[in-house]
Amino acid sequence: MNTIENVAVIGLGYIGLPTAAILAANGITVTGVDVNDRTIEAVNRGEVPFVEPDLSSYVAGAVSQNKLSASKDTPEAQAYIVAVPTPFNPDYTVDVKYIKAAATNIAPKLSGGELVILESTSPPGTTQLMGDFLIALRPDLSLDGADGKPAIHVAHCPERVLPGRVMIELVTNDRIVGGLTEEAAQLAKHLYAVFCQGEILITDAATAEMAKLVENSYRDVNIAFANELSVISDKLGINVWELIRLANHHPRVNILQPGPGVGGHCIAVDPWFIVAAAPEESQLIKQARITNDQKPDWVVDRTMRAVEGIDSPVIAVLGLAFKANIDDLRESPAVAIVEKLSRKLSTADLSVVEPHVKELPKQLVDLQNVSLAELESSISSADAVLLLVDHDDFKEFDRTLLEGKHIIDTRGVWQ
């Protein structure tokens, strides 16, 4: 049974805010803590500073019921959930500065008995590091009650929700909880059971940390395999989409889909934490990252070959987001491809269609030969059409517009 009635969630981003809102909707009193004034003001007005289906109604409801509020200061609470960014350093080791900043603010509020959960995706050992850091700041406390000092309970509970389906997957996904002690894991399990209807599986903190990295690496390796097949197939004159569809009829084969590269802030990042932790032993994981990171360059070359011989070619570029039907352009291979094409083909006109944004991102906004356009006008005037994102909008239009154009379909939408 959960005995925790109030929680502080540190970091009101893509994971922290949904977690805060769903806890609040299930009767817990939640304070969300963030460094960004605009985020705090938005949440206290019951608003959400980014797009995620259904999140707005959760936040608005929880704020109006006085179950959720936001603040710059870390309050006293029975449990703390740390959901801050964990970027990597140039050598791919984790940069723990945001975790340390959160712990520095939590430490003075502790009196013993509290639960501190790290949710941020982290390499094995990071939860232990956070625990040791807290104890260094509060030597009157312990992680396990040793020497008669009151214990704080430290656990890792990685999020595994898919952007665009966060409010559903928070409830339905199974969860892994890794404790620095068994008691910490049990306390965290009971807290997550307040809203999670999936199975909650208990392990140690390092295994929980690694499980999250492995899930995203598994996907990265499988996508790299598909991307490699797409390059091989192009060379051999084989339709890769048909090839994969046929191979996947085998009962034990399930190849993912090739694309222009892997984007987002998870799959393209997390495998590097494994590589940094065991560089000699993670050759396959590393090569998958390299293969996926090289795919945008291959798409650029392929597009340049398609328009070779055309003076001042007009290229319709469909999609900038990192995947279908979202407005998120961060770490998007499509943005990188447009930027590279613009520089390499200075005489070309790149007419970009992205129905989910109103303006070009900062990497593209100053490029003279790149502009935003509507789908049909962009295709009509183009010599070549480069499809980078499988948005639904690109599946439903008059296909006769494509006749006579050079087509580079990186997602297999028009096969």
Report, as residue numbers or ranges, the catalytic residues. 212, 266
Query: Residues 126-165: x/- map of binding to ligand SAJ (CB under 6 A)?
Result: ---------------------------------xxxxx--
Question: By CB under 6 A, what part of segment 100-129 binds ligand SAJ?
Answer: 121
Residue 82 bridge partners (DSSP): 10, 118
Q: Which is nearer to ligand SAJ, 245 or 405 (CB)?
A: 245
Strand (E) or helix (H) holding 9: strand 6-10
Interface with ligand SAJ (CB under 6 A), residue from 185, 266, 375, 384:
266
Q: Which stretch binds ligand SAJ (CB under 6 A): 17-25, 180-188, 215-223, 241-249?
A: 215-223
Query: Residues 308-327: x/- map of binding to ligand SAJ (CB under 6 A)?
Result: --------------xx----
Determine, following the binding rule CB under 6 A, whether residue 293 of this chain makes contact with ligand SAJ.
no
Alpha helices in 52-181 (DSSP H): 55-64, 97-106, 126-137, 166-172
Query: What's phi and psi for 163, nearest 5 deg?
Result: -50, 135
In contact, 50 and 14? CB cutoff 8 Å: yes
Say how many residues touch ligand SAJ, by CB under 6 A: 20
Q: Which is nearer to ligand SAJ, 14 or 58 (CB)?
A: 14
What is the spatial distance between Cα 268 and Cα 295, in angstroms, rounded to a whole number? 13
In the complex, least distance from residue 262 CB atom to ligand SAJ, rounded to whole angstroms: 4
Q: Phi-psi region for residue 268, left (φ > 0), alpha (ψ -120 to 50) or beta?
A: alpha
Q: What is the DSSP string of 214-243?
A: HHHHHHHHHHHHHHHHHHHHHHHT--HHHH
What is the spatial distance between Cα 29 and Cα 65, in angstroms, rounded to a whole number? 10
Q: Which is nearer to ligand SAJ, 13 or 145 (CB)?
A: 13
Q: Which is nearer to ligand SAJ, 348 or 387 (CB)?
A: 387
Contacts of 388 (CB under 8 A, 6+ apart): 260, 299, 317, 318, 319, 320, 333, 334, 337, 410, 411
Query: Tokens 């002690």 sit at which residue?
Result: 181
Determine, following the binding rule CB under 6 A, whether residue 219 of this chain makes contact with ligand SAJ.
yes
Interface with ligand SAJ (CB under 6 A), residue from 223, 277, 307, 314:
223
Q: Which stretch binds ligand SAJ (CB under 6 A): 188-196, 263-271, 336-344, 358-366?
A: 263-271
Angle between helix axes 205-236 and 126-137 (nearest 10 degrees) is 140
Interface with ligand SAJ (CB under 6 A), residue from 267, 300, 315, 353:
267
Where along the sequence are the contacts to ligand SAJ (CB under 6 A)? Answer: 121, 159-163, 215-216, 219, 223, 256-257, 259, 262-264, 266-267, 322-323
